[in-house]
Every structure is written in C-alpha cells, then in structure tokens.
Amino acid sequence: MSLISIDDIGRAGLERLFARVDAFAPADAPAHGVVRSEEMGQTGRRSAPLAGRIIAMLFFQASTRTRLSFEAAALRLGAHCIGFAEAGSARAGPGWRESLADTARMLNAYADAVVIRHPEAGAAADYLRQSTIPVINAGDGVGEGAEHPTQAILDLYTLRQARGRLDGVSVLVVGDLRQRAPRSLARALSRYREVTLHLMPAAGFAMSAAEMAMLRRRGLTVAETGGYDGVIERVDAVYLAGMEDPQTPVPAAHVLTPDVLARARADVLVLHPLPRGNELPPEIDGHRQAHYFRQAAYGVPVRMAVLDMLLGARAQPRDRRHAPDVSALADQSISPPVASKKGWGPSNRPG
C-alpha cells in the first residue's frame, strides 16, 4: 500500500488518518505541535511502533520542511533513515545511468518503505511500478500530474483543527496554481461537502480548465477572482501558494499586506506551504490569523500518522525475503491495494 496521490485516500481514510494525527498532536500539545518521543506513552501508543524499520528518503529535489519532517517523523516512531538529500550525491537519476526503475529494484532489498521527491510529475508513480515496498510521494513536479499528498493532508488537518470541520469551508488560493501543493489541496477539499474554492492565479499561472472542470464534477464550487476585494471578507482561509520560481515575485496586487488582511474576518486562517516570497510579508507573522508556522509544525505528526498507518499496524521488522504485511489496513475503511498498488480508498481519479 502506497501514497502517490491525494486521490488514493477516500474521505473515510482521511478521517481515520486524522484520528491518528490527533494521537501524536493532541489538542493540549505545546506550540511545537507534536508529542515528544518521551511523551508518546501518554497517548496510549507504543513508544517506538516502527522500531527496526528502515525508511529510505530519496530526495532528487531540494527540500527543507518535507524532508526534515519526514525524517523527524520516522525517528520519533523509532525507525531508522537512509537516503540522500540531493540527486547530485547519488548515482541515481538523470546525472548517471541508473534509472528510477533500477533504483526501486535496489531499494526493495534495502528498506521497508521509500519516501521520494522528484522534479518530474509522475515520477513517484513510475517508481512504484518496480517497488515491492510502500512508496510515499513527497512531491513530484509541477503542472499536470504534479502531486504533494502529505502537504494536502497537513493543510486539511490545519483547517480542521482551527475550524472543527471541513464541510462547508471556503478557501481562497493565491499565486502559481500549477504547483503541486495547491493542486493536491484542491483535490483533497473535493472529498468534503459544500466547499467553495476561490482561485486567484498570477497571470499565466492559472489552474487548467480541465482541472477546474474535474473539481466541479466532484462537487466543489470553483470561482476565479482577480483580486482580494469582495472575497477575503468572507472566506475561512487564505492559502498563499507563492510562485514555483523563487526569483519570480507575485504581482503587487496579490501581496497579502496588513491593510488587506485587516479587511478579512478576525478568525480567517492565513496558510502557506512555505518557503514564502513577497506574497507574505513578515509583518503578517504577528497577526493572530497567521497559521503557517503551526501548519508547518503539523508536518511531523501528520507524517508520523502516514508512516504509522503504512508500517505500524502489526509491525515487526520484515523478513527481507518478503514485502511488508499491510493486510491489517483492510479493516480500516481503506481499500486493500489494487493491482497498481495505489489504494488508500476508493479512487475517483479523473479519466
């Protein structure tokens, strides 16, 4: 069982995953948002549910929050980490002759699960085809086919913690909407009822018409807007996606200034997957609506829950002759793996 796309998880699967996150980040958790290793016994869980497991971190693209939070999550669960933080430090990838398929075949013998980030959309799915161990997509590519499922899960969890619900929320998404984070967030929100998605793209960086049509078929109310006026006053959250190219600033009209934020509801959530650019001035950090650092902190308990769900049920260090036993997940409202091994729940991927 693997996590390649947010579409691999149904609503029931998301809710069960959130319950696991709650165990690692209870409501009375300190500001860092995660239960420390020595505190895990207070949640009624084993102190090291993944003891003896090895997680391979294959980061073919730069990362700070995703890589470090996955490594922290694995370590807090008692697992060990191997891997690399940049493609140039390994012989896997386009700089050498080793294909993703060959890398997957090799890692099948070295690890119990793989976390992969890659600059090409669809790379995680390609890797999975040769993998006999669980694969988690830590973000691949930009544009059509790009995904970042664990980012979408922690975005939903942040909304859920602040609002107490996900049905009926309204979210304004601003910036380069071709990026994997806003694309996965929009698909994740489509699991819930009466959700309104306001899209405010930078010129030339809009979500495709086909993607918006698919979201509407799933039940989302999708509306495009050219500015904050008339929208920021009534949404539950503003999700600043920034630009894929760190050298490209967002238009001045898309910058969330203190004056713009003053027009929003007092309880609006300002979210950002980080790192930020000019779209989110540091002056916003002191406002109570700023939730992006807590959002980033949730990356650890969310990824703990994902790893625990994939490997923790009835976990024992695996016999190297066999793939991990994930049959225990079949009774958790998550469908067993399908032939392609992409199955956390009923999939409604667009054809």
pLDDT of 89: 62
Q: What is the mean pLDDT of residues 122-148?
A: 93
pLDDT of 222: 97
Q: What is the mean pLDDT of residues 40-55?
A: 70
Global pTM value: 0.85
Is a pLDDT exceeding 90 seen at residue 94? Answer: no
pLDDT of 113: 97
| Structure tokens given for 120 | 């090409």
Q: 48-60 burial, b for 16+ CB within 10 Å, e for fewer? A: bbbeebbbbbbbb
Contacts of residues 109-113 at CB distance under 8 Å and 24 or more positions apart, as own/partner, are: 109/320, 110/54, 110/56, 110/82, 111/54, 111/55, 111/56, 111/82, 112/53, 112/54, 112/55, 112/79, 112/311, 112/317, 112/318, 112/324, 113/53, 113/55, 113/56, 113/307, 113/310, 113/311, 113/324
Lowest-pLDDT range, 136-140, 252-256, 328-332? 328-332
Q: 93-110 burial, b for 16+ CB within 10 Å, e for fewer? A: beeeeeebeebbeebeee
On average, the pLDDT of the chain sits at 84
Is a pLDDT exceeding 90 seen at residue 18? Answer: yes
pLDDT of 34: 52
The fraction of the chain above a pLDDT of 70, given in percent, is: 79
Is a pLDDT exceeding 80 seen at residue 87? Answer: no
Strand order through the sheet with 135-140: 80-84, 54-59, 113-118, 135-140
Distance CA 23, CA 26 (A): 6
pLDDT of 273: 94
| 32 pLDDT tier (thresholds 50, 70, 90) | very low
pLDDT digits (tens, 9 = 90+) for 144-184: 888 999 999 999 999 999 999 999 999 999 999 999 999 99
| 48 pLDDT tier (thresholds 50, 70, 90) | confident
Q: What is the mean pLDDT of residues 83-99?
A: 71
Is a pLDDT exceeding 70 seen at residue 315? Answer: no
pLDDT of 320: 38
pLDDT of 341: 38
pLDDT of 337: 33
| 95 pLDDT tier (thresholds 50, 70, 90) | low
**Cβ neighbours of residue 134 under 8 Å, at least 6 residues apart?**
1, 2, 3, 112, 113, 114, 310, 311, 324, 326
Helices then strands, each counted (H, E), the chain: 10, 9
Q: What is the mean pLDDT of residues 209-224?
A: 96
| 143 pLDDT tier (thresholds 50, 70, 90) | confident
pLDDT digits (tens, 9 = 90+) for 250-295: 889 999 999 999 999 999 999 999 999 999 999 999 999 999 999 9
Distance CA 3, CA 143 (A): 19
